Amino acid sequence: MKIGILKTDAVNPKFVREYGEYPDMFTSLLGEVDPDLEFVTYDVEEGQFPADVDEVDAYLMTGSKSSVYEDKAWIARSMDLIREINARKKKLVGICFGHQLVAQALGGKTEKSSKGWGQGLHTHSFSTAPGWHDGENPDFHILVSHQDQVVENAEGAEVLASSDFCENAVVQIGDHILTFQGHPEFTPGYSTEIMNLRREMIGEKIYEEGMASLATAEQGDRVARWIVNFLRS
């Protein structure tokens, strides 16, 4: 299976040597679960889009510091691509920005949350376990870094998991689109770097709570297995 990674942001150059770019993070994360997966990157932020939606078997859209409601040509074009993927019923996984852009493109709405910033490790809980789920603990711990949230879901979307902070944390549309607000590709080390970089922006209280949360083990590998199960199903 060939996965097209839709790259919507660049890692801060200070961190690339240690953590890689976002496609590197996903290649490592998902490749550990299924070494037979192939990956190709489309840097959509830089205007690189697939010439044909069928160039790959499925897509994954990364997170971004951009907001989905910004007036940027590449964001509008990315929404067109999402609509085409949806119309073709091809598999698509959206992460953070990707999660929000799917909603925005398919009739939902994303905006800045009145709850402020989500940082560090959050616990989300499944209300129902779909077929790709492992059927174990409905709670899972995932690293987050976002201020925007989906406030209205796309038409036909089913909310699978949520938290007190994020009502629409894991969402599925049909059998072909799955989105997560959290970042399974993040590591505690990278999350620490992001919080240090944004400390003044997010505020001292959220910074301290986010850093303290990293004492709990994140479950990015568990989420990776779910993603692979979904893509392979």
The answer to pTM > 0.85 is: yes
What are the structural domains of the chain? 2-232 (3.40.50.880)
Location of structure tokens 């949350």: 113
How far out from the chain centre does Cα 11 lie? 15
Smallest CA-to-CA distance from 182 within 220, 152, 210, 154 is with 220
* DSSP state for residue 62 in the 8-state scheme: -
Q: What is the DSSP string of 2-40?
A: EEEEE------HHHHHHH--HHHHHHHHHHHH-TT-EEE
pLDDT digits (tens, 9 = 90+) for 89-116: 999 999 999 999 999 999 999 999 999 9
pLDDT digits (tens, 9 = 90+) for 151-183: 999 999 999 999 999 999 999 999 999 999 999
